Structure 1
Amino acid sequence: MEAILSDPAGAVIGLDFDGTLSPIVPDPAKAVIHPKAPGVLAELGAHVLSIAIVTGRPPATALELGPGLADVPNLVVLGHYGFERWEAGRVSAPPPPPGVPRAEAELPLLLDSLGLDGVTIEDKGRAVAVHTRRSPDPEGALAALREPLAKLAGAHGLVIEPGRMVLELRPPGMDKGQALSLFLAERNARSVMFAGDDLGDLAAFDAVRASGLPGVTVCSGSAEVTALRERADIVVDGPEGIVALLAELASAFSRS
């Protein structure tokens, strides 16, 4: 933290989206960024090397759910775990993997065969997510789905990304840790912070430590996932705590 405060122009601030910048809600399509986040990030972005939102969502979706983000200085959105990138109004990405739509086409029949109520499918373009949060027994539905979804993913050359009441089928070869590591090297970062809330963010925590840079990891705390809390340097209370921490940083930069 001292390195970030003393040399903000060399700092990359990495952030997850859902559960970190926006509260977790039953319907992912209705998630919305914390109302103070865009303003705080705009102030922060004027001082740091870069702000990188690293998310499993497509960049366009993160920007849609975060009005004002597109105007944040030095912002890059690494979506689909880094497969897709938004920067300065442009999105770049390789061709979408064919296994995702094939797996998605088989999901309704699979879910019907398991007799699970309240389980929903989210089309994420380069991935497909199966949510159990609205099921009468979210944990039980998640447990029942793990093995069948793993077999379905394997049959189509995909991998499973577990999360908070969700299992996501996505292409292999990239995760938040790899995306963050590549970005730090590209920008010649001199320090790094990463904040997340879910199991997929553990790889980014590992990347902070493996980077060799002065770094700090932050957990957006929840009762649903404790693994990050145990690994984080700083634990705050959800998106409200994340925004407060970022506001403190921005204020410190403005005073220096």
Structure 2
Amino acid sequence: MPLPRPTTPAGRAALDAIIAAPSSALLAFDFDGTLAPIVADPRDSRPLPSVVDALAALAPVVGGTAVVTGRPAATAVAYGGLDRVPGITVLGHYGLERWEGGRLDAPDPHPGLAEVRAELPGLVEAARARFPGAEGTAVEDKERALAVHTRRAADPEGALRELRGPLERLAERTGLAVEPGRMVIELRPPGMDKGAALAGLAADRGARSLLYAGDDLGDLPAFGTVRRLRADGVPGLAVCSGSTEVSALAEEADLVVDGPAGVAALLEGLLAAVRPG
């Protein structure tokens, strides 16, 4: 499988560094939209088998593999069969949870979540009454966060606009942070994002080169971490799992690939470049 080349000099230098010394490289990925195609019902999300196969083959060769996701870590592991990847670290809820080797470390739930859990159904129902295009909006309970999805709504963009203000006010009142995404708004505990999670993991692993791939606005902080580590002398490659819905991420990327299938092709090409023999 041909290895795609980044469009930026910094990205090309990082890819070359990963290939030259894979044992000190950290490869990290978002879950939905990056390893797994976006689907209407998040409970149906599953990574492409070729992605997990390539990660499992790469894991013994590189310094570390990781998934950084807004999902609960155990859910990502179960949905993805990620326990097949030797030594993988799964950071759930933007880094609040950490799964490694079958062990999950997680904090107590944020106290504001109980109030949000109680009020959110009524808030969504009120939005449907005001705006018929919000019909089909769904709430996902992630245990330590709650998300409102409009992808299945009659008017997804209109429903998102209708809900944004009420959700922001609810988050402010309960001490939660608002995380916008592709046809979704999530209310989650503050103080952690994918950038901080990635920086901490890179430090833990002593990474001397880094690849991070994502597809949504929540991945922008991780791209920021890639840039900051580059400034500190750690070559980093920011990969966008391409989507017409999120152009802002593509503009910040060193390499844009065609969704999860493109991520699989990138990993297969990288595997061919670093595999001994």
Q: TM-score range by the shorter chain?
A: over 0.9
Runs (4+) of structure 1 moved beyond 2 Å? none
How far 1:255 moved relative to its partner? 4.4
Q: Deviations over 1:162-209 (max 9, x none)?
A: 000000000000000000001111111100000000000000000011
Partner of 1:251: 272
CA contact (8 A) 1:49 1:74 kept: no
CA contact (8 A) 1:14 1:195 kept: yes
How far 1:253 moved relative to its partner? 1.0
* Larger RCO (CA under 8 A, 6+ residues apart): 2
Measure, in 1, the Cα distance between the counterparts of 2:265 and 2:97: 29
Among 124, 134, 152, the alignment partner of 2:170 is 152
1:178 aligns with 2:196: yes
Structure 1 alignment gaps of length 5 or more:
none
| Secondary structure of 1:36 counterpart | helix
Q: Deviations over 1:102-145 (max 9, x none)?
A: 10210111112222311100000110000000001000000111
Partner of 1:31: 45
1:78 aligns with 2:109: no
Partner of 1:141: 159
Partner of 1:165: 183
1:99 aligns with 2:112: yes
Measure, in 1, the Cα distance between the counterparts of 2:125 and 2:214: 33
| Secondary structure of 1:217 counterpart | strand
How far 1:93 moved relative to its partner? 1.3
How large is the RMSD of aligned CA atoms in angstroms? 0.9
CA contact (8 A) 1:180 1:204 kept: yes
How far 1:36 moved relative to its partner? 1.0
Structure 2 alignment gaps of length 5 or more:
1-14, 129-133
User: Aligned ranges for residues 37-116 of structure 1 at < 5 Å?
Assistant: 37-67=51-81, 69-115=82-128, 116=134
Among 227, 235, 238, the alignment partner of 1:214 is 235
Q: Deviations over 1:17-52 (max 9, x none)?
A: 000000000000011111211211011101111111
Measure, in 2, the Cα distance between the counterparts of 1:207 and 1:45: 22
1:226 aligns with 2:240: no
Among 191, 203, 208, the alignment partner of 1:190 is 208
Measure, in 2, the Cα distance between the counterparts of 1:242 and 1:228: 15
Q: Give the alignment's TM-score, normalised by structure 1.
A: 0.98
Measure, in 1, the Cα distance between the counterparts of 2:114 and 2:59: 37
Measure, in 1, the Cα distance between the counterparts of 2:114 and 2:44: 23
Measure, in 1, the Cα distance between the counterparts of 2:91 and 2:162: 31
Amino acid paired to 1:59: A
How far 1:101 moved relative to its partner? 2.4
